[in-house]
Structure 1
Amino acid sequence: MKKFKLRFLAFGMMLLIVALAACSSNDGDAAADGESGSSDSDASDIEVVFIPKMTGNAFFESGNDGAQAMAEEIGFNVKYDGTPEGTVANQVQIINSAVSSGADAIAISSVSSDGLNQALQKALDAGVEVVTWDSDVDPEYRSVYVNQGTPEILGAMLVDMAAEQMDDPDGEQQVAWFYSSPTVPDQNSWVDYAEKYIADKYPNWEVVTKQFGEGDEQKSLQIGESIIESYPDLDAVIAPDSTALPAMAQAAENKGLSAEDLIITGFASPNSMRQFIENGTIINHGLWDVTDQGALAVYIAYHLASGNEMKVGDTLEVPGMAEVEMEPNSVQGYDYEAEDSGIIVLPERIVFTEENTNDYDF
């Protein structure tokens, strides 16, 4: 993967200058100025709880790698807290534990668009900053969503990765969807837009089935094999899920199928899919740099927990990364809008092929 270089020397000098300036002013001057910048807390006093949908998954472990790297270089603390089973009950327990332990912020990839509302409200009432990444919640219950791409971007990307492998994408094609759950917010938003995109651009495609693996590797493998057996004339399987996609590729390999027999594409980390590209089971798949996403999510959480505000339209220079902008919730299709609730969209996504997969390591 591209090297994760952070420009922390300059950032540290900036913090030192700010600290010296603060020391030269008395409390009365600060009150008179009415400034509301960072709190006086040292970075090491800030704890962010970084919550994946599930642990043990290459995608989320890579996100944590980025989160930990950012925390180590800046000096704040990140606690990686999750369970192997991605359920609402488990995430509610983790959120409650973060609140009771005195965490300053959480950065969570949610398994449900509304199942965490009560727990998140308790966190907000306790003064805990709430940031989401990868998969959002109701925007009323978080400040910032660090988004890998809008439904329009990612839905079209999924369809295009399949279409470019077809001899005649304008002709009749049988297509299956295979991902984690009918309730998980991010994947369903991508699929919803993708189906509109298909209807407009490829009206001869037929979606013959939509299957769910619930984030379980063994169940996903069984479902992948069942899809192959049940739909012998299937042309493509699109799996926008980091458990379903490698399971579907493994199912095809087990059945002796190559990319020439069945198109399989979707979203998963390059490390989990490289063997299937190299042996010809798949031609391409996509994702974004999840290490950057994890790093950005915890930095935003740390920034807010340090006493800073972010409002729609604000920009922020993130150490070692590009300047980011907080956009309105409407870019994700939400009706809820507030000046302190918005979305930061990652600047790029990646299509992995045989030519570039070895350039990445996450």
Structure 2
Amino acid sequence: MSRTVRRRATALLALTVAGLTLAACSSSSNAGADPTGAPTATGVKKGQTVYFIPKDTQNPYEVLADVGGQKALKELGGKVVISSGTADTAAAQIPSIQAAIQAHANAIVIAGNDPSALCPSLNQAAQAGIKIVAFDSDISCGTSPSHLFINQADTASVGTSEVDLLAKEINSTGQIAILSAAASATNQNAWIGYMKKQLAAKYPNMKLVSTVYGNDDPATSLTVLQGLLSAYPNLKGIISPTTVGISTAAQYLSTHKDVASKVTLTGLGLPSQMKSYVKDGTVKSFELWNPSNLGYLAGYAAASLSSGSASLQTGSSFKAGTLGSFKVIGPTPGVGPSVVLGPPTVFDSSNIDQFNF
């Protein structure tokens, strides 16, 4: 069954990436020109090399984000090198950081698989003059190295809105569970923290009975999902704040209608992967932002920081191509300087056909 999930995700991803790649190739006519380091109209120097280090290289969400980064650097006359492992671990990402140092990259854009384990290697990169940008999943390195976090959406609103979506569908009552990605993933844990706060504050009749981790791997996600359903026969709802987890769960429920009739699924998903499950009634609603836009914003931020046309100072701003201008938000508890892409979109049968990413 896991092979079926992978084949379906791969086919959908291939179509999406093909379209995005064509769009990237048709962007700025100056792309790739003048490798002398002269600044563009936005103050960003051309000829830059930015290493994109996703959580892993096989996750469709991460691939879309990387394509967005490639589009941004192409517009700016630079290039992206995509490098990471195939497992969602810090150990799999560290060789890519070292490769960026050896290549004298201008910047690193990384989705942290661990909040702190990457910090020594990233500090080496910063000491070598490489600007550090985290996106999707932040790192927690204290003051060294200084970095900018590109947040896909307001962290609190992501967590609380997922609970609100599920509460609406199950009448705010019953046992629920969370199917997460890696247990060390910074973004997942932050969202789950706000989910718990929202449950305690607004939904006393909804009980979180378990949180399981699929490590953003379809086979592992399926195994922990089946264990969850077996352990809690009265389960009424599942929140999966990971595109791999929700698509795996949706595929399973779509072929087990007896279970689907009793368990409501929501979370964060790609419309391209989830469309068929919305149309057949397996999933009523879920949410997400455009991963390509997230990578695009991160690419502009990295190149701007490296060029000196952007800074980590609170209130400073920079231009991010077709997305417009973004302002740096000052440090808050647990989060350093950051930029927020924007609120997530809720997808359901009324609008799912409008989105192709």
- The TM-score bracket by the shorter chain reads 0.7 to 0.9
- RMSD of Structure 2 on Structure 1 (CA): 2.7
Asked if 1:313 corresponds to 2:322, the answer is: no
Which residue identity does 1:161 align to in structure 2? L
Between the aligned partners of 2:105 and 2:91, the Cα distance in structure 1 is: 19
Aligned to 1:62, the other structure's residue is in SS state helix
CA deviation string 1:99-119 (max 9, x = no partner) = 111111000101011110100
8 Å CA contact 1:225, 1:251 repeated in 2 = no
Partner in structure 2 of residue 78 of structure 1: 80
Provide, for residues 163-192 of structure 1, a one-character-per-residue CA deviation record: whole Å limited to 9, x for no partner: 1212x22xx310001111222110111111
Helix, strand or coil at the partner of 2:243: coil
Residue type at the aligned position of 2:354: D
> Structure 2 CA distance, aligned partners of 1:114 and 1:89?
12
Which deviates further from its counterpart, 232-241 or 78-87? 78-87
Shift of 1:143: 2.0
User: How big is the shift at 1:19?
Assistant: 6.6
Q: Aligned residue for 1:274?
A: 275
The residue that corresponds to 1:248 in the other structure is: 249
Superposed CA offset, 1:16-44 (max 9, x none): xx9799xxxxxxxxxxxxxxx958xx512
Per the TM alignment, residue 268 of structure 1 is displaced from its structure 2 partner at its CA by 1.9
Conserved? CA contact 1:7–1:319, under 8 Å? no
1:154 aligned onto 2:149: no
Residues 249-258 or 281-290, more deviating: 249-258
* Rg larger for: 1
Query: How far apart are the structure 2 equivalents of 1:129 and 1:317?
Result: 17
Q: Is the 8 A contact 1:8 1:319 kept in 2?
A: no
Looking at structure 1, the residues matched to 43 and 127 of structure 2 have their Cα atoms a distance apart, in angstroms, of: 20
Partner amino acid for 1:43?
K
Structure 1: distance between partners of 2:340 and 2:43: 24
Say whether the 8 Å CA contact 1:174–1:235 is kept in structure 2: yes
Counterpart pick for 2:94 among 92, 95, 103: 92
CA distance in 1, matches of 2:280, 2:189: 30
TM-score (norm 2): 0.85
Alignment coverage as a number of residue pairs:
329
Q: How far, CA to CA, are the matches of 2:257 and 2:231 in structure 1?
A: 16
Residue 145 (structure 1) aligned with residue 144 (structure 2) = no
**Identical amino acids, percent of aligned pairs:** 26
Aligned residue in 2 for 1:48: 50
100, 103, 120: which is aligned to 1:101?
A: 103
Deviations 1:186-225 (A, max 9, x none): 0111111110111110011111111111222111111112
Higher relative contact order, structure no. (Cα contacts within 8 Å, ≥ 6 residues apart): 1
Q: Which amino acid aligns with 1:150?
A: D
Structure 2 portions without partners, runs of 5+? 1-15, 32-37
User: Which of 337, 342, 351 is equivalent to 1:347?
Assistant: 342
2:120 and 2:310 map into 1 onto residues whose CA distance is 23
